[in-house]
């Protein structure tokens, strides 16, 4: 299968709008609708959760906005089909659009769109060829090994095109948006590879809206990766009267397991007997557990603590996946565990079942 080295997350409402006051400039987006005289269409500035409705009159629409930097926008129909483009401050963007097909046939007036088009033009022929080969590979008599080799070569070329684009446009806001979208949509993201691409960016590539969001994302990815250091945090215990700080805990122990869980999570609760066994065996030898609950209902959390009687540190701000720790750590699902050494460095992740016991036995055998 062809891996796309850039993919666009269109309706991610998790994007945080910066509260810093930034000078904004007028931008006008005008469109000629080639196949519709009257109707509506939706538009969204992807740095904002707000979606506006535009009325099409006599085959035309005009939309005024204020932006402080080259910014990604999407035109969206009722079925969530979309067309993405970039708009620049103090610019007038002229679009020709087939509304029924949601196809932009022409766009002028945006220098940042011209930058974006470079990557599209480089990879589109590769993606078209890959799509055809993926159909061919399932036909009777197809030489699957040969087709797989070609697909692999296409993947390599697509990746090379992506790296070249980032190098040539390292100070562009377009690059930061594309890289943010690519990394945030890759469920199997390789942090070191992502960081290599991130380090190519400079200037506005890192200081733009999506450059800042990308920096946050990279920090969160590193926060759950072996070899990096766990970000510090302070959270209250179940009484709300005592707060625990991670750095103090790992500074006082040889090894600390951060256990992200919730009372409603079946797989999390299935791990509790293994956690208890490891804690009983190794706590006196310098092992501690910090269970961070991602519950959003305090009574459910307290009931689980009473039921399972886990004799280690428990903390939570009762905000679910809006918790403080989710601003610091990439934890899209639970259970999630990180094993830290005395310096806070992550030395292992996701040690399930007896794997935790065996790892601690290896580390603490002396």
Per the model's pLDDT, the better-predicted residue between 187 and 81 turns out to be: 81
Nearest to 182 by CA among 169, 167, 171, 198: 198
pLDDT of amino acid 185 = 82
For 186-228, write each residue's pLDDT tens digit.
Answer: 877 889 999 999 999 999 999 999 999 999 999 999 999 999 9
Confidence of residue 54 (pLDDT cuts 50, 70, 90): very high
Q: Are strands 313-315 and 287-293 parallel, antiparallel or unpaired?
A: parallel
Domains of the chain: 25-113 (2.60.40), 129-222 (no CATH), 234-363 (3.40.30.10)
Please name the residue ranges forming H helices in the chain: 111-136, 144-168, 173-184, 191-198, 204-207, 209-222, 246-251, 266-282, 298-308, 324-328, 355-363
Two structure tokens written together for 159: 């990746």
CB atoms within 10 A of CB 30: 14
Q: Is the pTM of this model over 0.85?
A: no
For 9-35, write each residue's pLDDT tens digit.
Answer: 444 433 433 434 456 779 999 999 999
> Distance from CA of residue 324 to its chain's centroid?
17
Sign of the CA dihedral running 118, 121, 124, 125 = negative
For 270-310, write each residue's pLDDT tens digit.
Answer: 999 999 999 999 999 999 999 999 999 999 999 999 999 99
**Model confidence at 5: pLDDT above 70:** no
Two structure tokens written together for 122: 């480089």
Two structure tokens written together for 171: 């100070």
pLDDT of amino acid 366 = 58
Helix (H, G, I), strand (E, B) or coil at 191: helix
- Residues listed for the chain: 366
Confidence of residue 332 (pLDDT cuts 50, 70, 90): confident
The DSSP string of 207-250 is HSHHHHHHHHHHHHHHTTSTTSBPPP-EEE-TTSS-EEEHHHHH
For 242-258, write each residue's pLDDT tens digit.
Answer: 999 999 999 999 999 99
pLDDT of amino acid 22 = 54
Two structure tokens written together for 153: 């070569």
Contact 224, 334 (CB under 8 A): no
Q: Compute the average pLDDT of residues 55-68.
A: 95
Mean pLDDT of the chain: 90
Nearest to 124 by CA among 6, 23, 10, 34: 6
Distance CA 169, CA 21 (A): 27
- CB-count exposure of residue 116 (10 Å: 0-12, 13-18, 19+): buried
């Amino acid at each position: 299968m062809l891996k796309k080295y850039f993919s666009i997350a269109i309706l991610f409402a998790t994007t945080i709008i910066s509260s810093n006051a930034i000078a904004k400039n007028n931008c006008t987006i005008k469109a000629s609708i080639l196949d519709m005289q009257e109707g509506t269409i939706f538009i969204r500035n992807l740095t904002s959760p707000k979606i506006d409705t535009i009325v099409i009159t006599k085959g035309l629409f005009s939309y005024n906005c204020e932006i402080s930097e080259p910014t990604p926008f999407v035109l969206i129909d009722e079925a969530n089909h979309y067309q993405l483009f970039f708009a620049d401050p103090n610019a007038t963007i002229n679009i020709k659009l087939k509304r029924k097909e949601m196809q932009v046939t022409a766009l002028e007036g945006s220098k940042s769109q011209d930058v974006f088009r470079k990557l599209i033009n480089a990879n589109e022929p590769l993606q078209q060829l890959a799509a055809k080969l993926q159909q061919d590979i399932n036909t009777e008599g197809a030489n699957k090994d040969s087709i797989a080799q070609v697909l692999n070569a296409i993947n390599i070329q697509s990746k090379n095109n992506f790296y070249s684009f980032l190098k040539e446009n390292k100070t562009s806001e377009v690059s930061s948006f594309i890289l943010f979208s690519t990394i945030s949509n890759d469920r199997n993201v390789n942090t070191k590879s992502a960081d290599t691409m991130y380090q190519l960016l400079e200037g506005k590539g890192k200081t733009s809206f999506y450059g800042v969001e990308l920096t946050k994302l990279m920090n969160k990815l590193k926060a759950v990766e072996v070899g990096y250091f766990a970000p510090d945090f302070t959270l209250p215990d179940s009484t709300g009267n005592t707060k625990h700080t991670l750095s103090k805990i790992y500074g006082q122990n040889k090894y600390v397991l951060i256990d992200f869980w919730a009372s409603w999570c079946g797989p999390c609760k299935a791990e509790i007997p293994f956690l208890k066994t490891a804690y009983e065996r190794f706590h006196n030898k310098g092992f501690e557990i910090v269970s961070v609950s991602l519950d959003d209902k305090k009574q459910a959390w307290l009931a689980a603590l009473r039921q399972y009687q886990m004799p280690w540190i428990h903390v939570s701000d009762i905000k679910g996946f809006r918790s403080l720790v989710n601003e610091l750590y990439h934890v899209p699902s639970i259970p999630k565990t990180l094993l830290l050494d005395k310096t806070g460095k992550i030395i292992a992740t996701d040690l399930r079942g007896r794997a935790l016991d065996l790892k601690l036995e290896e580390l603490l055998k002396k």
